[in-house]
């Protein structure tokens, strides 16, 4: 998933330049800004099941009662068994809503290496990641702020164990930056 939503009180300075805003929604007491999204479409909710890409999306983790078992089943798809868990969490066909920042946060909260293969994780581990994703997204939606423990903190101490946070590009089709703690989450692709 590309782009991100920020919510601000009216009049507050945005944390990204206005030139990167793709959509701005203003309601009394709040301004929601979508930055950097490559595509923005506006349509009625009732046509969502017919939309070519939206109809293929996994469960929306920001829905009132997302089907978490369905998300785990989709992550379990044999086609994804060889993927790293960091890449799988970004696949919106498995579960919808997790972007790169939240991917990093969720894996840190779960103390799991982003380079673990999906096929090597049991259902309980996948379920925990999906629940954490839902919780972090809800927290962001409710407060306008998300917990950030490793994202864009390369070289700084891990808030849990004080080891320096590492960063690497990850993913073949669409490499994204992965930040993680090699001590409490586990080694990276180089085994360190
Ligand atoms: Zn750590």
Cα 143 from Cα 134, distance rounded (Å): 14
Calculate mean pLDDT across residues 76-104. 95
Query: 117, 86 in Cβ contact below 8 A?
Result: no
Q: Give 105-163 pLDDT, tens digit per residue.
A: 999 999 999 999 999 999 999 999 999 999 999 998 888 888 999 999 999 999 999 99
Q: What is the pLDDT of residue 133?
A: 97
Q: Is residue 188 part of a domain?
A: no
> Could you tell me the pTM of the whole model?
0.79
Q: Same domain for 78 and 158?
A: yes
Residue 33 backbone phi and psi in degrees, to 5: -120, 130
Q: Give me ligand 1 centre to Cα 184, in Å.
A: 4
- Domain count across the chain: 2
Structural domain boundaries enclosing 79: 59-180
Q: Give me ligand 1 centre to Cα 150, in Å.
A: 9
- Of 105, 88, 97, the closest CA to residue 146 belongs to 105
Q: Is residue 123 part of a domain?
A: yes
Domain of 94: which CATH number? 1.10.8.50
Q: Give me ligand 1 centre to Cα 158, in Å.
A: 5
**Is the model more confident about 175 or about 100?**
100
């Amino acid at each position: 998933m590309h782009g991100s939503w920020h919510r601000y009180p009216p009049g507050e300075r945005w944390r990204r330049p206005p030139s990167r805003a793709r959509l701005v929604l203003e309601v009394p007491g709040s301004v929601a800004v979508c930055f950097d999204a490559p595509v923005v479409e506006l349509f009625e909710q009732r046509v969502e099941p017919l939309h070519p890409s939206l109809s293929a999306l996994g469960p929306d983790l920001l829905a009132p009662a997302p089907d978490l078992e369905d998300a785990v089943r989709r992550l379990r798809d044999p086609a994804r068994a060889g993927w790293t868990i960091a890449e799988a969490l970004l696949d919106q066909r498995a579960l919808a809503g997790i972007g790169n920042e939240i991917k990093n946060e969720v894996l840190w909260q779960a103390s799991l290496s982003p380079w673990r293969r999906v096929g090597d994780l049991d259902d309980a581990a996948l379920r925990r990641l999906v629940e954490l994703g839902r919780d972090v997204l809800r927290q962001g939606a409710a407060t306008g702020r998300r917990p950030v423990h490793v994202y864009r903190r390369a070289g700084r101490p891990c808030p849990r164990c004080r080891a320096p946070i590492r960063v690497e590009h990850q993913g073949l089709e669409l490499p994204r930056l992965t930040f993680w703690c090699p001590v409490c989450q586990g080694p990276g692709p180089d085994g360190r």
